[in-house]
Amino acid sequence: MPPGLTLLFCEGLFILSPAMNEMNTGLPLSPVTLELISSAYRVLVLALAVLAQLYLFVRFREAVRSSRLSRRAASRVVGAAGLAIVTLFSLSGFILARPMAWLDPPPALQAALFYLPSLWSVGSLTCALILLTLRVAGEAGRRAGRLWRNATGRKPADPVDTGRRRFVKAGVGTLAAAPFVLTGYGAAYAGRAYTVEERSLPFGLPLRVVQLTDIHAGLTMTRREMRRYADEVIALEPDLFVLTGDYVTNTSAFLPDCLEEMARVRARYGTFAVLGNHDHWYVRPSELTALFRQSGIPLLRNDSRLIATARGPFAVAGIDDLNAGRPDLQAALRGLTPAVPTILLSHRPEIFPDAAARGVALTLAGHYHGGQIKLTLPSREISVAHLRTPYPEGLYRIGESRLYVSRGIGTSLTPVRLNARPEITLLNLV
């Protein structure tokens, strides 16, 4: 199914269904229940995707037939549009359903075969929603006008001004095209224009920590891109480098390149990593263990390391993914006391209340990409992530414990980021 539809609708079902909320927070559900829920929302999302494509085709055909083109030319234009819609929709579904291990695609083919179908899936859905909303609103307005005229006995309005009608059509066309412009911008610029988010936090020891999360190595996060991020981390000269999961998108083929690039970072106190849900979904456990061992990056799965410094010791603990893994916070913190400043690595941030209750000074997480596609209003920010969790991005505090949730650097389901720039996190701990 098209990735953009999955992002905007399929994930939206998580906030509407209590069962999906259980899945999101890691509460236990039977395998049969999980499979039924998964099948149900996939069917619903696929149906919405198909309906959006059909609606756009019908509206385009209406517009062409009402134009001044000859019947033969109009038929050709409509046929070409139908072929384009089917091709883009099919490619988008194919990319998601059948992971492609093309490690370093040429930029031109990357744009044509991967970006364009993915952008169509987001833009076409939003465009269809806009056109449908405008049509429903227009029809409702016309009916209300007729009822008002009948009730007041007023005569119908003068014949429609053709100039005004053309102006309205141009406005509708602009609104309909806006989603494609925005998604193109979100992929071409906003998805790559990363920022270094620097924060100073109390910890008990001076420490310079750099975090990367949600790399999502794949067709739109190639080795070239990962090398650029690794070079930036090296330039920041961290004392500690941490990775908080989701190294892959939907195939393990890109994981060796990802780990090789991240292993180039040589922090004073080392690099540590935990796993995310995508890593569990798409990489075999034995392969994960072997690749991390080969890279020399310690993988913390409900485990910790005590690190000595000239100012005293601190600990780095890591917990398995709260949903797809087998998380055990007690095991991750075994042998540690609140007297030893501890950094807990968790792909998902929902562990934070439990970590704070156990005296963990700092929890680092990711998973939500800062919403990836986010709308900022005067009073609040809105995205699927902001509706699903109390910890979508940024800094949070419970007592003396703090949580920082990074927006990450990669994308999932669609290569688009809007109002949620990729992030390299730099924490100056004191």
369 phi, psi to nearest 5 deg:
60, 20
Burial class (CB in 10 A: 0-12, 13-18, 19+), 420: buried
Instruction: Report whether pLDDT(160) > 60.
Output: no
Give the start-end residues of each E strand in 66-123.
none
Residue 263 has pLDDT above 70, yes or no: yes
Residue 3's pLDDT is what? Answer: 37
Residue 290 to residue 292: CA distance in whole angstroms? 6
Does residue 157 register a pLDDT over 70?
Answer: no
Go through 217-234 and write b for each residue having 16 or more CB atoms within 10 A of its CB, e for each that does not: bbbbbbbebbeebbebbe
User: What mean pLDDT comes out for the span 394-421?
Assistant: 94
What does the pLDDT average to over 91-108?
A: 78
Residues in Cβ contact with 8 at an 8 Å cutoff, skipping those fewer than 6 apart:
122, 125, 126, 373, 384
User: Of the ranges 32-46, 150-164, 263-277, which is most confident?
Assistant: 263-277
Residue 312 has pLDDT above 60, yes or no: yes
Please give the pLDDT value at position 164.
58
Residues paired with 396 in a beta bridge = 403
Band (pLDDT 50/70/90 cuts) for residue 43 is confident
The pLDDT score that the predictor gives to residue 8 is: 39
Question: What per-residue confidence (pLDDT) applies to 99?
Answer: 74
Instruction: Identify the weakest region by mean pLDDT among 120-124, 187-191, 285-289, 374-378.
Output: 187-191
Mean pLDDT, the chain, as a whole number? 86
Question: Residue 328 is which amino acid?
Answer: D
Range 124-137 burial, b when 16+ CB lie within 10 A, else e: bbbbbebbeeeeee
**Total residues found in the chain within this entry:** 430
Indicate the pLDDT class of residue 4, thresholds 50, 70 and 90: very low
Which domains can be identified in the chain, with CATH numbers?
Answer: 3-190 (no CATH), 196-429 (3.60.21.10)
Q: Which of 5-9, 190-194, 375-379 has the lowest mean pLDDT?
A: 5-9
